[in-house]
C-alpha cells in the first residue's frame, strides 16, 4: 500500500473513496463536509437523509463510518466519519484513530482500492494538525500491517493499494510529511 500526501482539494481526487469529515447529522456543514456536499450535488444530501431515516436516526457516532455514493464527485463513494471535537471536550486519541480505521474498513467492504483522507478533526473541530497527522499515519500504518497478508484467490494482495492524505494548507501538508517520515 502506498501512502502519499497531496496539497489540494479532496473533491477533485481521482480515487475510489473520499472520506468526509462529517458532523453527526450527516446533513452537511462547513469545511471539508460542506465542500464535499457542494461538489457531490444534492443527491448526496438525499442519500444522507435516507441513512438518517433508516439506519442512523440519532446520527453517526464519533469514530464510526458509513458510505454513500459519490454522485457528482470523481470518486465513486464517499465514506462519512465523525471526528472528535476538541472544542466540545472530545480529546480521546483512540476515537480519532477509529475514524481512520473505520473508514478503511468501510472502503474495503465497498471493494475500493484507493482512498483520500482529509485531516479529520484538524479544522473546525480544533485538534492540533501535528497530532492529527501522527494519529492518522500511525492508524493507517497499523491497519496496513494487519492486512498485508490478505490475498485474493489469484495470490495478489487485495484491498486498499493507495492512501492519499489530501491537505488544505502547506502547514498541514508539512505536518503529514513529518509524520510519514518518522
pLDDT (mean) for 119-130: 96
Q: What is the pLDDT of residue 86?
A: 97
Over residues 52-61, mean pLDDT: 97
Range of the domain at 6: 2-149+156-181
From 9, 14, 16, 33, the catalytic residue: 33
Residue 159 pLDDT level (bands cut at 50, 70, 90): confident
Is residue 33 annotated as part of the catalytic site, yes or no? yes
pLDDT interval class at 152 (50, 70, 90)? low
- Whichever domain contains 120, its CATH number is 3.40.220.10
Q: What is the pLDDT of residue 146?
A: 83
Predicted confidence at residue 147, as pLDDT, reads: 75
Q: Tally the domains of the chain.
A: 1
Q: Would the pLDDT of 150 be above 70? A: no
Alpha-helix runs per DSSP H in the chain: 31-40, 42-54, 93-110, 129-147, 170-181
- Across 6-26, average pLDDT: 97
The residues, ordered by sequence, that sit 6+ positions from 120 with a Cβ below 8 Å of its Cβ are: 19, 21, 81, 83, 96, 99, 100, 132, 136
* Cα angle for residues 112, 115, 120 (degrees, 5° grid): 135
Average pLDDT over residues 105-126: 96
Which pLDDT score, from 0 to 100, does residue 148 have?
Answer: 58
Contact 63, 93 (CB under 8 A): no
Q: Does residue 50 have a pLDDT over 60?
A: yes
Amino acid at each position: 500500500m502506498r501512502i502519499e500526501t497531496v496539497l489540494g482539494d479532496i473533491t477533485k481526487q481521482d480515487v475510489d473513496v473520499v472520506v468526509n469529515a462529517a458532523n453527526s447529522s450527516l446533513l452537511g456543514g462547513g469545511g471539508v463536509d460542506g465542500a464535499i456536499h457542494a461538489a457531490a450535488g444534492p443527491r448526496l444530501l438525499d442519500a444522507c437523509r435516507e441513512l438518517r431515516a433508516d439506519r442512523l436516526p440519532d446520527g453517526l457516532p464519533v469514530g464510526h463510518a458509513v458510505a454513500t455514493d459519490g454522485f457528482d464527485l470523481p470518486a465513486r463513494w464517499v465514506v462519512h466519519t465523525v471526528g472528535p471535537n476538541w472544542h466540545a471536550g472530545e480529546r480521546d486519541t483512540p476515537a480519532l484513530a477509529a475514524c481512520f480505521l473505520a473508514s478503511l474498513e468501510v472502503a474495503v467492504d465497498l471493494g475500493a482500492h484507493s482512498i483520500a483522507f482529509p485531516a479529520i478533526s484538524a479544522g473546525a473541530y480544533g485538534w492540533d494538525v501535528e497530532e492529527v497527522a501522527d494519529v492518522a499515519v500511525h492508524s493507517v500504518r497499523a491497519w496496513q500491517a494487519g492486512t498485508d497478508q490478505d490475498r485474493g484467490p489469484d495470490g495478489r494482495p487485495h484491498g486498499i493499494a493507495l492512501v492519499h492524505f489530501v491537505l488544505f494548507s502547506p502547514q498541514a501538508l508539512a505536518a503529514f510529511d513529518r509524520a510519514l517520515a518518522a
